[in-house]
Chain A
Amino acid sequence: MAFRGKAPRFWLGRLVRNVLAWVAIAFALFPALFVLGTSFDPVQNLRTARIIPAQPTFANYLHIFRERQEINFPRWLLNTVYVAGTTAVVSVFLCALGAYAFSRFRFRGRRAGLLTILLVQMFPQTVGMVAIYLILQALGKQIPWLGLNTHPGLILVYLGGAIGFNTWFMKGYFDTIPRSLEESALVDGATPFQAFWRIILPVARPILAVVFVIQFISVYSEYLLASLILKGMDKYTLAVGLQLFIGEAYNRRWGSFAAAAVIGAALILLIFYALQSQIISGLTGGAVKE
């Protein structure tokens, strides 16, 4: 008898919870679903585009891969993958090297070095934009391929910003790898570098993957520095170029924009959901997004 009064309330509570969850999910998903739906609507006008198109086609997708004048989506996508991929690979390697030294060697300046990196990392790189711009300008006068409006120049800037956080992050992981793993190799006459290369790196593969992916995603989405440094439209990354798809032409180019947005987001969504738990622990643990 005691449960008779409680059962309907319990049932109601559950219903409310599920309804709330679905309202929140609708809020979370509707921009993405709207863009996905309208990307199949050949109508280019945002006003008349429908989330469930009357006659769905792939016209918008074909269009953005065919249109290669000023707005050159395939090129921008390649540029983005090139810049993000290179930055991620090189920074993983550099940070692993640094993290290994901080984790395994005891030397003068170690503590100071770790603290300095932490301190420097607090200042967002983007705030130094004028200095970065002027440095690249000066660099470009001596070394043209490393100056403004070049991909290597942009990669150089990103590498600088990527070192601090990732080195700390990896060092934390390396500290958890038992030293006994390398010690036997060292006794057998391996150099520390061989121990690092043959033993630590393979063991640390999960963290290397996470750092790679987080770095890739953050460069993929970076806007300020890319738009500052890349001036030629053929050099643009997607973050800089995508806005040009619409500009203010929501009534003429919405479909193309939607298709480009879907492709641009799909790649990152795939990576994100494939490695969901690792990425989330990496991002929320370090309290860093972007």
Chain B
Amino acid sequence: MAGFRGLGLLSTTALKVVVLSLFDAVALYFVVLLAWEKSWLLVGVIFAGLLGLNILAFSRRLYPFRYLAPGLLFMVLMVVIPLVYTVYISFTNYATGNILTKDQVVQLLTSRQFLPPNSPSFTFRAFGEGQNLYGLYLWGPAGEYVILTPGQLSPASAHALKDVDGDGIPDFLDGKAALALPELTRFLSTLQNLNIPFGDGWLRLSTLTTFRVYSPQYRYDPEADVLVDLRTGKEYRAQAGNFVAADGEKLDPGWISGVGLANYIRFLRDPLYHRAFVRVFTWTVIWSVLTVTLSFALGLGLAILLNDRQLRFRKLYRSLLIVPYAIPAFISILIWRGFFNVEVGLFNQFLSQYLGVRVPWLTDPFWARFACILTNVWLTYPYMMLVSLGALQSIPEEMYEAAKVDGASGWQRFSRITFPLLLVSVAPLLIGSFAFTFNNFTLIWLLTRGEPVVEIGSRAGATDILLSYAYKLSFQGGRGAEYNMTAALAVIIFVIVALISGISFTRTKALEEVSRGL
């Protein structure tokens, strides 16, 4: 488009420069703020974004990207980066107990304290006025100090101390009167929070009347990458995300660290994960295959029924038959869940009244799986019906005429003409539907939550599909988050989806259509 090239401006250049420089100034301000907090990743991201924006705004050659960038930005941020990040997490130990960085872990552990038996002890007296605690006077064999709240330590000699009753203990500190013990209890939490660096350790409240010097429990040696327990002298070496002693003792918390293929190997070797994975994978495949074939069979049957031009009210029938498609799935699934309720559900009311039986829907593995498939067939057949109707209408009438002339029966016409031709155009949609069902978390979760439980101690229930099992590994309350295992499972799902799409692409004409679209 020769005409486009010379006109590559959204508005006048001057306005653009003004607006852009204002925007840059604000963004750079945030970059500085973030740099102050050492959020280098975010600084990098924002800076790169800013740079990109400025280049886009002035480059003629990149003019089309001004249109593409906004959408692509969201896609990169919330689809591409999560994809890459998921792969990354799957090679780490990122889970409850290992969610901090190494620096944070070192900081946390080296700030842990213990009370050595011979540590100096100080008696103290508190001073204040009305509602305010002004400061503390501490004395003991190791000297005399004053602590001003919220926590500055200074030698006692730097303050005005006045002993009125002559017992050797000051009664006024910088003009503030001493507090009696009952008054002091009001400030107990303030006192307990005091943690004042003192020598190698910290000065802290030990009993209601004394302060003592606490020592750090660990010292970190960055050169050797070793943490030493100062009480026992035991050494803990940094190793795969934790500080570990020679005897195998591990310090909590650990940090995020690479573990190679360990998470994937757990799905193969760790019995609990392995059994769960095999069970869930098998069910996911069975569930997807059955849903797609059964709903396609039902949908195709109805499509053939509706395709009969002599059938009256076919428009009305069609509109009524697609109602399950039009109701938001999360609503109809919950309705079905009510129907399947063992005590008060519609199905068991009916069955117990007429047949005298109660089916343990949703509590027995077989019936729970049955319920999932029945519900999903109900949800999916209208889609199958619609695509089959479209495909049926595209089969030329002449083919049937010719077959009739040759004396083909109704069944022969269906199995030799209709079905093969239909399958050609519908196959990619069936594969798409398979992939969708494979990951239909909403149905499983709202209908059964993946339950019933089939193995004590395993998170995977009888109706869990890969995606809901992945969800449970990280987000099921009370059991800790195994982000690494969820991510590994997600990567496995990615691979399966890629394979399915690959088959769909090479086996059908989708690729041709796509390249025509390019």
Residues on A lying within 8 angstroms of B by beta carbon are: 14, 17-18, 20-21, 24-25, 27-29, 31-32, 34-35, 45-47, 94-95, 97-98, 100-102, 104-107, 110-111, 113-115, 117-118, 120-135, 142, 156-157, 159-164, 167-168, 171-172, 175, 183, 186-187, 189-193, 196, 217, 220-221, 223-224, 228, 238-239, 242-243, 246, 250-251, 254, 257, 261, 264-265, 268-269, 272-273, 276, 280, 283-284, 287-290
Q: Which residues of A contact B70 (CB under 8 A)?
A: 94, 97-98
Chain A residues lying within 8 Å of B34, measured Cβ to Cβ, are 142
- CB pair A250 B498 closer than 8 Å: no
- Of the candidates B75, B493, B497, the one whose C-beta lies within 8 Å of that of A160 is B75
Known contacts A125-B79, A135-B82, A221-B329; A34/B490 CB under 8 A? no
Q: Are B334 and A261 in contact (CB under 8 A)?
A: yes
* Beta-carbon contact of A122 and B483 below 8 Å: no
Q: Separation in Å of the A165 CB from the closest CB of chain B?
A: 11
Bound form: Cα–Cα A27–B381 in Å: 11
Contact assessment for B327 and A268 in the assembled complex, using a CB-CB cutoff below 8 Å: yes
For residue B317, CB closer than 8 A to chain A, the reply is: yes
What DSSP secondary structure best describes chain A's contact surface? helix
CB-based contact B439/A127 at 8 Å = yes
Q: Does B363 contact A (CB under 8 A)?
A: no
Most chain B CB atoms below 10 A, which of A17, A29, A217: A17
Complex Cα distance, B346 from A111, in Å, reads 55
CA of A290 to CA of B338, assembled, Å: 23
Check if A31 sits within 8 Å of B336, measured CB to CB.
Answer: yes
Q: Whole-angstrom distance between the alpha carbons of A131 and B491 in the complex?
A: 12
Please tell me if the beta carbons of B75 and A28 are within 8 angstroms of each other in the complex.
no
On whether the beta carbons of A104 and B338 are closer than 8 Å, the reply is no
Bound state CA distance, A27 and B467, in angstroms? 29
Contact A224 B471 (CB under 8 A): yes
The answer to whether B7 and A191 touch across the interface, beta carbons within 8 angstroms, is yes
Cross-chain contact A163 with B310 (CB below 8 angstroms): no
Is residue B378 within 8 Å, beta carbon to beta carbon, of the partner chain? yes
Residue of A nearest to B466 (CB): A127
Q: Are B78 and A97 in contact, with the CB atoms below 8 A?
A: no
Q: Are A131 and B331 in contact (CB under 8 A)?
A: no
B residues with CB within 8 A of A: 1, 3-4, 7-10, 34, 39, 42, 61, 63-65, 67-68, 70-72, 74-83, 85-86, 89, 298, 302, 305-306, 308, 310-312, 317, 319-332, 334-336, 338-339, 341, 343-346, 349, 378, 382-383, 386-387, 390, 428-429, 432-433, 435-436, 439, 441-442, 445-446, 467, 470-471, 474-475, 483, 486-487, 490, 493-494, 497-498, 501, 514, 517-518
Q: Which 8 A-B pairs have the closest CB atoms?
A: A160-B78, A128-B82, A101-B67, A131-B82, A287-B432, A131-B85, A47-B344, A94-B71
Residues of A within 8 A of B330 (CB): 221, 223, 238-239, 242-243
Give me 15 other A-B pairs in contact (C-beta within 8 A), A105-B4, A127-B493 excluded: A31-B324, A106-B1, A123-B494, A124-B497, A130-B487, A131-B89, A135-B85, A160-B76, A193-B10, A223-B330, A223-B442, A242-B334, A265-B332, A268-B327, A284-B383
List, in ascending order, chain B residues with CB within 8 A of A135's CB.
77-78, 81-82, 85
Bound complex: CA A289 to CA B292 (Å): 14
User: For residue B491, which residue of chain A has the nearest CB?
Assistant: A127
Chain B contacts for A287, CB-based, 8 A:
387, 428-429, 432-433
Shortest Cβ gap from B101 to chain A (Å) = 12
A170 to B436: give the CA distance in the assembly, Å. Answer: 22
User: What residues on A are CB-neighbors of B9 within 8 Å?
Assistant: 191
